[in-house]
């Protein structure tokens, strides 16, 4: 009998003991993307596209994306596929060079507030054509395409400083990563709405780079959280 009492008490104590803290919604969203990319790499997709009729009808009535993906407009980079997610799971914004402007900021704000998405992933990719053009540009950019190159230029200049001596593909790769970082920064600095959500811990802005050769998404180390509360 004492042994039974001891076992009962021990079981109750273990059940009552605090376990590891549950991951935050942003961490869960990022882990979900990483797991989907692993399935994509191993050819074990759970969410094939297109949807069946019943599933399509369900998605047509409402959407509840768990993450926002700001990705480059490249035919080889399809977020639903490389993260193995069904339609309606990701709020995707595609723009050449994954740059930000008021329209992009407004789109991200809409998804973050309307759907409560806890994560924004800025997704660049290997050998980005827009970044390559910005690296190789000899004259000041003009016209509509020039506006894209102009937006990428700060990342190129930072890459030249951080990756001293790099040239050709190495410089482009460095600039791709800096361009991701530039978009992360501008999402916060250009939007009081997003800055407030980040400060409150309701939103995380992360970066990732898709490797065309392997299909792997390499997530960049997170940037430090802001130390001061954003202005209202």
Q: CATH assignment of 66-223, given 3.10.20.30, 3.30.70.3400, 3.40.1050.10, 3.40.50.620?
A: 3.40.1050.10
Count how many residues are written for the chain.
232
Sign of CA pseudo-dihedral 99, 104, 105, 109: negative
Hey, where are the domains in the chain? 66-223
pLDDT tens-digit readout, 17-37:
455 556 789 999 999 999 999
pLDDT attached to residue 120: 98
**Contact indicator for 159, 166 with CB cutoff of 8 Å:** yes
Name residues of the chain where pLDDT drops below 50: 1-7, 9-11, 13-15, 17
pLDDT attached to residue 53: 73
Rounded Cα gap, residues 108 and 91, in angstroms: 9
Cis amide leading into 222 (omega within 30): no
pLDDT tens-digit readout, 88-132:
999 999 999 999 999 999 999 999 999 999 999 999 999 999 999
pTM of the model: 0.86
pLDDT attached to residue 36: 97
């Amino acid at each position: 009998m004492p042994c039974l009492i001891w076992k009962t008490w021990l079981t109750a104590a273990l059940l009552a003991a605090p376990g590891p803290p549950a991951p935050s919604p942003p961490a869960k969203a990022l882990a979900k993307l990483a797991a989907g990319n692993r399935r994509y790499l191993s050819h074990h997709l759970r969410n094939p596209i297109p949807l069946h009729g019943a599933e399509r009808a369900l998605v047509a009535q409402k959407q509840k994306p768990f993450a926002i993906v700001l990705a480059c407009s490249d035919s080889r980079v399809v977020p639903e596929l490389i993260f193995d997610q069904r339609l309606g799971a990701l709020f995707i914004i595609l723009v050449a060079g994954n740059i930000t402007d008021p329209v992009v900021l407004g789109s991200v704000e809409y998804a973050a507030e309307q759907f409560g998405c806890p994560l924004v992933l800025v997704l660049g990719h290997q050998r980005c054509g827009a970044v390559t053009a910005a690296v190789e540009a000899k004259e000041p950019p003009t016209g509509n395409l020039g506006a894209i190159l102009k937006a990428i230029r700060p990342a190129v200049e930072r890459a030249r400083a951080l990756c001293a001596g790099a040239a050709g593909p190495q410089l482009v790769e460095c600039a791709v990563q800096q361009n991701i970082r530039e978009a992360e920064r501008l999402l916060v600095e250009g939007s009081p709405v997003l800055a407030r959500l980040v400060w409150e811990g309701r939103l995380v802005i992360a970066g990732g780079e898709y490797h065309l050769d392997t299909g792997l998404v390499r997530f960049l180390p997170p940037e430090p959280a802001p130390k001061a509360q954003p202005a209202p």
